[in-house]
Structure 1
């Protein structure tokens, strides 16, 4: 497998967002399971996806 790094183009934004959500969703789900819910909601009051947009 060859990896090629290319300059960012605005037309790639949707694909980058989809990839990021796929990558980070399991991470935040596991954090939420082990962290006290009140503490988690202090960090991400609306949703972690909103916090990073």
Structure 2
């Protein structure tokens, strides 16, 4: 069974927030493949930051 403790919940900027900011900054629609790739990059960056 997977469990989650409320102490693990962190409020702040999420990967979705960062993705929306990036998408708006491009100024034009992006292919879904590009958006998904950028989202995965953002998630990877956030995990690496948290591990430091």
TM-score, structure 1 normalization: 0.33
Larger RCO (CA under 8 A, 6+ residues apart): 2
Structure with the greater alpha carbon radius of gyration? 1
TM-score, structure 2 normalization: 0.33
